[in-house]
Structure 1
């Protein structure tokens, strides 16, 4: 994938979006109040520059000795939010009927969300998966962490089918502290399996947000003439006239969407169907405004 993940224009717009995010009382995207135990955690997270008024006891004197600059130790509870971005890079995510594939869009979305959250001192991490978990970066809240996230996004390759149910259960079992879980996937699995995995996160009191990435042809199925369709994950082929199967396809497709919507609504999971034709900047601004009003 050689597309630039974060253009200068996008970065400039995201800075403006960050101002909107800062107005939300409980942090970006979800309402997780700052911990009432602020400053009492013994779990070290990272450093930040010393500001007038910070407790002197939190200054890291080893850093001072090495750099002659003052930094204080920051602890996990000092972040507004701890977020895990779960990104599906199974073979179906690499489909695209236009300039952008679903994985291109998903990676830019993940990069943008990471940039926003870390920019406002929230902790962002990344977990990638296909039929198995392929990478796991735990959440951190310092700017120097972004290149690690972006590098993984840039190096993702198509492989195998999606095993959403097993992977979601495995990931849920590894995340102990209450967090925001953002799933970015084309959700090509049985809705019952998807919801079973997502419920596991809710049972651990995590907030869950789903971005369901689709291609415009998946949404509309406006192919012309006899067309060969190849299952990107099984490589099974079928040649048909699209107009003959379009009504049944759209009926099944909408049924799939409705089951996901209903399941997410039932378990208080935020479900967002997103076409790759939607500018990411518009998506983020619309969502931030919606959260601000909420």
Structure 2
């Protein structure tokens, strides 16, 4: 019998067939960890502490070969657990995040799955995680906790959320930043449909309080590629506007405008010391977790 390949649970099209968010998130994390061929704790949740002499049965992967080359003796690297990280997940619930619902994969669905996957990964590392759903206001807040049952509440709120209202981060982020007293990490999932300078000023409120910030910029593949061919009626999701046009006549200028906008967003984030990661809804979610873990390793060194 021909060997059947296992489904790729990092692939959005595969995940579309799964309705429950908790199942999606855990499959994404398990798929990512399997793909890395190692525990996600290695190199991220633990820190090098000291050497000890090798003993039969020790894992050869932990041998320090640099020490061996100098001393001709085998030593094992020992590690110690780092203090838990406190992370705040900020997920955009504005109407523009609904784009893609007609085809079964909206920006919000992608963002919610990505945020849920990060939350599950953090739970496995015994970190503290909280959730904020926002639009032009703070719609829902779950305080940080590392309790195993807390992840269920986060996944429930993400699954029940209905994107409404316009995108506006100035007032919500100002209020939120004043509430986050202890230093930690802020992870934003949004399509960033707002002025980049306003975004920079709002995110700076977290940076002034010494939080580390990573922005996952969620864009639908249609918004990035503009694949439309026939005459199309475009309707605004956050504004009352319609435009009936021939897309091929607009493609070049549209893509140039998107490119300018993306460069402005990256520049604003870079100037504030914020990592900006573009998320294309057609791409694997593995990149989300890899980017998060890489940023986490970097931020942990800064937070100590």
| 2-structure distance, mates of 1:216, 1:176 | 37
What corresponds to 1:82 in structure 2? Answer: 86
How many residue pairs get matched? 246
Task: Please show how residues 141-152 of structure 1 align to structure 2 within 5 Å.
Answer: 141-152=146-157
Task: Please show how residues 88-127 of structure 1 align to structure 2 within 5 Å.
Answer: 88-96=92-100, 98-127=103-132
Q: Is the 8 A contact 1:18 1:120 kept in 2?
A: no
Give, in angstroms, the shift of residue 99 of structure 1: 3.2
Task: Please show how residues 1-294 of structure 1 align to structure 2 within 5 Å.
Answer: 3-5=19-21, 6-7=23-24, 9-14=27-32, 16=34, 20-25=39-44, 27=45, 79-96=83-100, 98-285=103-290, 288=293
| 2-structure distance, mates of 1:212, 1:158 | 17
Q: For 1:198, what is the secondary structure of its paired residue?
A: helix
- Cα 1:264/1:290, change in 2 over 3 Å: closer
| 1-structure distance, mates of 2:266, 2:298 | 21
Structure 1 unmatched ranges of 5 or more: 32-77
| 1-structure distance, mates of 2:243, 2:106 | 22
Structure 2 unmatched ranges of 5 or more: 1-15, 48-81, 300-304
Q: Is the 8 A contact 1:20 1:288 kept in 2?
A: no
Give the structure-1-normalised TM-score: 0.76
- Cα 1:208/1:282, change in 2 over 3 Å: closer
What corresponds to 2:3 in structure 1? Answer: none
1:44-95 Cα offsets, whole Å, 9 max, x none, are xxxxxxxxxxxxxxxxxxxxxxxxxxxxxxxxxx852000000001010011
Q: Is the 8 A contact 2:114 2:288 kept in 1?
A: no
- Cα 1:22/1:106, change in 2 over 3 Å: same
| 2-structure distance, mates of 1:166, 1:110 | 22
Q: Is the 8 A contact 1:79 1:121 kept in 2?
A: no
Q: For 2:239, what is the secondary structure of its paired residue?
A: coil
Give, in angstroms, the shift of residue 287 of structure 1: 5.2
Give, in angstroms, the shift of residue 251 of structure 1: 1.4
Give, in angstroms, the shift of residue 286 of structure 1: 5.8
| 2-structure distance, mates of 1:291, 1:175 | 18
Give, in angstroms, the shift of residue 283 of structure 1: 3.4
Root-mean-square deviation (CA, aligned residues, Å) is: 2.7
| 2-structure distance, mates of 1:124, 1:117 | 7
Q: Is the 8 A contact 2:207 2:213 kept in 1?
A: yes
1:164-199 Cα offsets, whole Å, 9 max, x none, are 222111211111110100010000001011011011
Q: For 1:168, what is the secondary structure of its paired residue?
A: helix
| 1-structure distance, mates of 2:178, 2:298 | 33
Q: Is the 8 A contact 2:88 2:132 kept in 1?
A: yes
| 2-structure distance, mates of 1:18, 1:79 | 25
| 2-structure distance, mates of 1:86, 1:180 | 11
What corresponds to 1:36 in structure 2? Answer: none
Q: Is the 8 A contact 1:169 1:200 kept in 2?
A: yes
Q: Is the 8 A contact 1:14 1:116 kept in 2?
A: no
